[in-house]
Amino acid sequence: MQRPSHHPSSPLTHTPKHCRHRVVKPQTTRSSSSQQLLLLLIFLTCCISLSSASPTILYIDDELVEAQIEARTAASEPLGSTFARLARSGTILVDQSPPPEPNSHEHDLDLDRGAGDLKKRADTESSSSSSSSILSASTRRSSSSSTLAPTSTSSGIVAAETTSVQPLPTPFDTGFNNNVTSNCASFMSSMLSNSTFKQCLPFSLLLQNSNSFFQASKSLVRITQTLDYSCAADVTICTSVLNSFASNITTSSACASDLSSENPLVQQALLGLKAYKPLYTASCLRNPSTSAYCFADAITNASNPTDSYIYFLPLNTSLVGGSQPTCDACLQNTMAVFEAASADRTQALANTYVSAASQINVNCGPQFVNASLAEAVNSAAVSNLHSHPAGSMGFVALLAVLITWVL
């Protein structure tokens, strides 16, 4: 009799159970194999990366070492070997054509000269002589230059600079026209060639009748040089000389007929001769703020060209209507000079000063300048006053001689 089985008797129930164990085992094996393959791939990737990077490092090291070796070799090699090595490496290109043959004429000259050291000595001597000549030339050029004192305009332009001396302006440098008589032209030429006249360089004659002065007035440096020269003249001697020319120009042997026919050139010459002293004094005034010449400030002041108009008052030219000169110390001092000069009623300032002063006071204030002429001085009386002492001394001397002769 068989024992009853705890398991189902049917074989179908046992077989599936056994089959389930067999299915699970292959899945576990495949997953572990996949993991191993993945790790293997990662490992191979790292190996490949390391193997590919190491040659670059070694190459860089080798290149650096090779460069250092080449540098030390180049330093120890002579110059010719260095060029040869660079030519072999292709760094530089070498002209392979044969060298040119020397010129037969130059070759003969080389043979005539002798040794190479003699040629070098000759070259050294010639170079030293040429340098010494250049030095002497530069010394001559520097000796012909002048350094101006530091001056500046009202706009702040500094005039202190070293510049070569330019020819000084001269009056009547454009010549005389055909309307001047021969006697007058001869007198004017004689006056202009007078050595004392040249040393005086009268500003009063340059202002209206000099093209070179007009060109010089465009440069602060050149106009300052001109004023330096004219203001250095002896005003007493120059006033006497120019007054003498002013008297002589009116004679019949000089320019009397030209003055009677109102020749403008000769009239301006007479006015300039008579106005020498007041214009000398006015042109030599300096700006108390900048130490520059007041006229140099005025003539170079592009922002207000009317500043220079007042300098034409002694030449019988009225101040242009609407002019507004800069109200500064230069204007006050210049008008004070002209006021004092108006005491001589023969001066043209006696006709032009009052209207100009009134116009200036309208612009600068009622008391800016004195708007009236100075007290008149009789020129004849002054002349007699100067002549009386000489006459008295002559009379006394004559009386002393007579007394001595009698005794």
Contact between 200 and 242 under an 8 Å Cβ cutoff? The reply is yes
Q: Write down the residue that tokens 């670059």 correspond to.
A: 56
Farthest-apart Cα atoms in the chain, separation: 219
| Average model confidence (pLDDT) across the chain | 73
Q: Look at residue 28 in the predicted model and tell me its pLDDT.
A: 52
Contact predicate 201/233, CB 8 Å: yes
Which residue in the block uniquely carries the two structure tokens 């001697």? 237
**pTM of whole model > 0.85?**
no
pLDDT, residue 79, reads 55
| Confidence at residue 364, expressed as pLDDT on a 0 to 100 scale | 95
Return the pLDDT at 306. 93
Cα separations in angstroms, 48 against 45, 56, 301, 306, 339 = 5, 13, 86, 94, 109
Distances in whole angstroms, Cα of residue 87 to Cα of each of 11, 70, 79, 92, 245:
97, 14, 12, 5, 89
Rounded distance, CA 97 to CA 147, Å?
60
Q: How far apart are alpha carbons 184 and 208 in whole angstroms? A: 19
Q: Which residue has the higher pLDDT, 337 or 161?
A: 337
In 89-134, the DSSP E strands lie at: none
Residue 7: CA count within 13 A, CB half-sphere? 8
Rounded Cα distance, 187 and 181, in Å: 10
> Can you tell me whether residue 164 is helix, strand or coil?
strand
Tokens of 238: 């120059």
Of residues 348 and 401, more confidence is placed in: 348
Q: What is the pLDDT of residues 312-355, one digit of tens each?
A: 999 999 999 889 999 999 999 999 999 999 999 999 999 999 99
Instruction: Using a pLDDT cut of 90, give the percent of the chain over it.
Output: 48
Tally the C-alpha atoms within 13 A of residue 90's C-alpha that lie toward its C-beta: 0
Say how far residue 20 (Cα) sits from the centre of its chain. Answer: 111
The pLDDT tens digits of the residues spanning 42-99 come to 877 777 766 555 444 444 444 444 545 555 555 555 555 666 777 777 677 667 677 6
